[in-house]
């Protein structure tokens, strides 16, 4: 209503200026009449375009404000000398605006969900947190797939710590599907012990379709974790070893035959690593007796996106070096940013940062995980330098790729802020050192165990992802073209109503 009122006042001001110049009251009254019609069309556009499914109900609601305003402020010039030209031009302008959402409904997905309904579902989700309509559409387009989740359990005298390598992806945005996967797993594991949910290869095609699907998946992971038996004789580590393969910085840590490989491209750009790379690396590792899990560090937002040089022989050399390296007894510990009083800003979820420390042969190395969606490209180097100065090695600095903060506002063009854009990078480096010192004071010999979960889940899927993206692009292109023509036509109609 506010926007419609301002638009109406602008049109009236133009008519008033012409009335003043011409000495006639009719350009002003014609502009007021034309503005009333434009307000009707504008309010219909917003109400039906974003909130109300019924076109007839939307039109009735759109009439209330302009019609009541005209009845309250009616003048003899407006009511007794109704200009048919102004009325006709106004009606045409209203039709232009009313037609847009009706035409947008003609663009549909393969299952009949039209672009306007999907936009309404998004607005309902974004403004009211009600994702039921949007999740229903996503679920109908989803596909059933089998995914593998790996859970590592470390037990010390102080309790258990878990590393979860999920087969699904966080996303797409609050509060849809698996948007808060790391946070949900953390809350579910509360009675078992601290957990770090790392980011595996795969993108938004692996988003779980609904919150209900996410709850079921996390429950299954939780039940699996409870069954894992840890053993002292399995708590030996080969590594961590480090290498540069192509443009990637890689660490390799083998707990028995479980090989955990982290891949970082910082300070170059990195996004979701394709699952095909993990599949090929896993095949190479299995030839050397390893069951490989890849951690996509997802820690450097930069337009210069990189992918693993999958045919580089450096991967096999790293696996071979890991195989022949000495297996040494490990001590482990865990700490969390909340324990040292650290609170991030809008680029870090309430799940904060976790640090998993491994000590082998007197060397202490830290795996740091931030529950955030990527990070600025300089952050990894700053964390590594700060830890190094304090006497600790860095296994890797990772983000979980949580989408809990995505689409929460309009602060960033990409829909979220990467860690380091709101929270100062220096403070992240500083808290990493504090967490490392706290973890070092807790180090204790560990027992180790692991297990895999094969789940059949509903994910968004690459086909549906492409279809929704194509529909969104087509709708955007249509909207831009339509509104360019509508603005030109409306301006011409306004001038006609005032001048003639």
Tell me what pLDDT residue 76 has.
65
Q: What percent of the chain has pLDDT over 90?
A: 79
For the full predicted model, state whether its pTM sits above 0.95: no
How many angstroms from the chain centroid is the CA of residue 453? 25
pLDDT per residue over 38-81, tens digit each? 999 999 999 998 888 899 999 999 999 999 988 887 666 666 66
Confidence of residue 248 (pLDDT cuts 50, 70, 90): very high
Coil, strand or helix at 308: coil
The pLDDT assigned to 382 comes to: 98
Q: How many CA atoms lie within 13 A of 339 on its CB side?
A: 15
In terms of DSSP H, where are the helices of 231-358? 275-286, 314-324
In the predicted model, what is the mean pLDDT of residues 385-408? 95
| C-alpha to C-alpha distance for 266 and 248, rounded to whole angstroms | 8
Spatial CB neighbours of 74, under 8 Å, sequence gap ≥ 6 = none
Sheet holding 159-165, edge to edge: 195-197, 159-165, 143-156, 447-459
Asked whether 350 and 180 are in contact (CB, 8 A), the reply is: no
d(CA 213, CA 145): 13
**Residues forming beta bridges with residue 159, ordered by sequence position:** 156
Q: Which pairing describes strands 195-197 and 159-165: parallel, antiparallel, or unpaired? A: parallel
Residue 81, classed as helix, strand or coil, is coil
Q: Any idea where the domains of the chain sit in the sequence?
A: 2-106+476-499, 145-459
Which element (helix H / strand E) includes 335? Answer: strand 331-336
Q: What is the pLDDT of residues 110-140, one digit of tens each?
A: 999 999 898 888 888 888 888 999 999 999 9
């Amino acid at each position: 209503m506010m926007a419609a009122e301002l638009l109406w006042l602008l049109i009236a001001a133009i008519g008033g200026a012409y009335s003043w110049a011409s000495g006639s009251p009719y350009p002003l009254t014609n502009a007021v009449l034309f503005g009333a019609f434009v307000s009707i069309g504008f309010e219909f556009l917003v109400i039906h375009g974003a909130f109300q499914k019924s076109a007839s109900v939307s039109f009735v609601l759109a009439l209330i404000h302009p019609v009541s305003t005209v009845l309250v402020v009616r003048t003899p010039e407006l009511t007794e000398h109704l200009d048919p030209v102004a009325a006709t031009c106004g009606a045409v302008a209203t039709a232009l605006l009313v037609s847009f959402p009706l035409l947008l409904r003609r663009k549909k997905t393969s299952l009949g969900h039209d672009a306007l309904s999907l936009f309404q579902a998004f607005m309902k989700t974004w403004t009211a947190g009600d994702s039921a309509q949007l999740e229903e559409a996503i679920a109908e387009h989803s596909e059933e797939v089998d995914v593998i989740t790996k859970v590592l359990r470390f037990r010390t005298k102080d309790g258990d710590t878990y590393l979860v390598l999920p087969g699904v992806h966080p996303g797409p945005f609050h509060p849809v599907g698996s948007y808060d996967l790391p946070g949900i797993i953390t809350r579910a594991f509360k009675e078992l012990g601290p957990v770090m949910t790392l980011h595996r290869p795969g993108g938004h095609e692996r988003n779980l379709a609904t919150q209900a699907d996410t709850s079921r998946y996390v429950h299954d992971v939780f039940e699996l974790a409870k069954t894992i038996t840890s053993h002292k004789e399995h708590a030996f580590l080969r590594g961590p070893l480090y290498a540069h393969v192509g443009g990637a910085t890689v660490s390799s840590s083998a707990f028995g035959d479980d090989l955990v490989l982290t891949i970082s491209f910082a300070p170059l750009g990195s996004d979701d690593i394709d699952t095909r790379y993990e599949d090929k690396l896993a095949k190479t590792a299995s030839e050397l007796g390893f069951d490989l899990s890849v951690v996509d560090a997802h820690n450097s937002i930069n337009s210069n996106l990189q992918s693993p040089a999958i045919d580089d022989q450096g991967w096999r050399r790293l696996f071979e070096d890991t195989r022949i390296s000495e297996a040494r007894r490990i001590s482990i510990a865990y700490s969390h940013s909340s324990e040292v009083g650290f609170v991030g800003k809008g680029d870090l979820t309430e799940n904060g940062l976790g640090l998993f420390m491994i000590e082998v042969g007197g060397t202490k190395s830290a795996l740091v995980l931030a529950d955030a969606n990527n990070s600025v490209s300089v952050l990894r180097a700053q964390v590594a330098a700060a830890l190094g100065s304090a006497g600790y090695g860095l296994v890797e600095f990772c983000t979980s790729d949580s989408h809990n903060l995505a689409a929460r506002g309009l602060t960033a063009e990409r829909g979220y802020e990467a860690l380091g854009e709101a929270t100062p990078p220096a403070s992240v480096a500083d808290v990493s050192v504090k967490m490392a010192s706290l973890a070092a004071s807790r180090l204790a010999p560990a027992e180790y165990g692991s297990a895999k979960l094969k789940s059949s889940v509903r994910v968004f899927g690459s086909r549906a992802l492409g279809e929704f993206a194509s529909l969104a692009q087509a709708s955007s292109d249509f909207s831009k073209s339509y509104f360019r023509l509508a603005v030109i036509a409306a301006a011409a109609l306004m001038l006609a109503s005032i001048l003639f």
